[in-house]
Structure 1
Amino acid sequence: MSSLMRSPPLLFPATARHTATVISVHGLGDTGHGWAGAVENWRRRQRLDEVKFILPHAPAIPITCNWGMKMPGWYDIHTIDGNAESLRRNEDEAGILLSQAYFHELIQKEIDDGIPADRIVLGGFSQGGAMSMFAGLTSKVRLGGIVALSSYLLLSLKFADLVPKPEFNKETPIFMAHGDSDQVVNFELGKKSYDLLKDMGYKPTLKIYPGMGHSACLEELDDVEAFLRERLPALGDNEGKSEL
């Protein structure tokens, strides 16, 4: 597992001075290119110009619910049948922890390049959102925010034991969003994850989109943009690190 072949992420450099980074994580069977359109739309609107976007590509791995055939995935999934409990059974802990380490590496590289941790947001859709929540909340640096679309909390039955102490991201804002007609990652599982995080003292918000299935909509993308602009406000040319 440790020798997985990984392609370099798709990168969208900041169009102004680079002061913040968003790592945007795709879902099962997709690639980083699947979310490039959303970034390009924000670029056209001249939004988030100081933000560099990193869109990683999952390695091709055997997926049990795909009859063991290889497809891009951050971890194996045994069953996708709409049942809220199915995804919690037989979780691929080894695969989840391998992807967690990869995302922690991406975060650390941005920090090494001079971006403060609180100017980094980790987010994604479906499996990518689940990994973003898990990797973000278990990070040993405090992030600027976490975005989890149509997703759920991984390893929820033992999650509290996997979080490092002290908990760096107890106060980190988490934007969760879910369609109430999702037949893949059942809305009830998303809601249970939200309730569990609240009960553990985290800071999630949950936006529900009536009639939306396992997909994204323009309103949701606008809400994500608003969250990113709130968490990563433009600093301009005269603020930030000293040049001396």
Structure 2
Amino acid sequence: MTEIPLEHVHVAPDEESGGEPAPAVFVLHGRGADEEDLLPVAAELPDELHVVSLRAPDPLQGGYTWYELDLSAGGLESSQPDADDFRRSLDLIGESVERAVDAYGLDADRLGLLGFSQGAITSLSLLLEDPDRYAWVVALHGYLAESHADLDPDGIEGKPVFVGAGAGDRVIPESRTTAAVERFETLDADVASGSFPGGHGIGPQELDAVVEFVASRTA
């Protein structure tokens, strides 16, 4: 089997594809979590999807992180990804996606990203770097990194993007998520968004909205 750079969990779809390549979602967890953290969310998505949940490269407090935080602009609410760590993780994810397509027989034209917190920030940047690679993106409780905020790539117009925020999120304030929504709207992506009760976590209403969004893009 082709070696995939990042540790991961692969869950094959419940529905048989008759040997044909099947669509997939690549799942990116948040800071301090691991590749199993978002599996209950992914389990609610359409049955025909492969789930490839990737583990971030660096250990942190019993879990893992995609990058260290640059706090030079202030506290946590103003943090940005450390540039070198961020670049390394973006490259590792991109290579892992490419190799997983071959390893698991995925449909390269029907790949989605689902990220939470750091995973959401990373997902939005991956989309802007290579919009033709991903059919849709779900970014929950994240923001658009300054390093990618001015990108205006070909292929982003009409791209389905769901952005979710927590009305009481004190880790990544809703205002930062709203700014990402506005930027993708400016780029003419097909943006769906919502503000949901609670803090830095995925509640039932948000999960329902995510499932509806993904189902409509994979039908």
**Structure 1 residues 118 and 207: CA distance shift in structure 2, 3 A:** farther
Q: Is the 8 A contact 2:6 2:92 kept in 1?
A: no
**Structure 1 residues 208 and 185: CA distance shift in structure 2, 3 A:** same
Show the counterpart of 1:227: 213
Mapping for residues 1-244 of structure 1, pairs under 5 Å: 8-18=7-17, 19-40=22-43, 42=44, 48-61=46-59, 72-79=64-71, 81=75, 83=77, 86-88=78-80, 91-112=81-102, 114-139=105-130, 141-156=132-147, 158-161=148-151, 167-209=154-196, 211-233=197-219
**Structure 1 residues 148 and 201: CA distance shift in structure 2, 3 A:** same
Structure 1: which 5+ runs fail to align? 1-5, 63-68, 234-244
What is the count of residue pairs matched by the alignment?
208
Question: In the TM superposition, what whole-angstrom CA distance separates every residue of 1:163-216 from its partner, at most 9, and x where no partner exists?
Answer: 6x5x2333211000001111000111111111122223333221111x311111
Q: Is the 8 A contact 2:136 2:217 kept in 1?
A: yes
Q: Percent identity?
A: 23
Secondary structure (helix, strand or coil) at the match of 1:34 reads: coil
Q: CA RMSD in A?
A: 2.4
Show the counterpart of 1:240: none
Query: Amino acid of the residue matched to residue 130 of structure 1?
Result: I
Larger radius of gyration, structure 1 or 2? 1
* Larger strand proportion of the pair: 2
What is the distance in 2 between the residues matched to 1:169 and 1:30?
30
What TM-score, normalized by structure 2, do the two folds share? 0.84
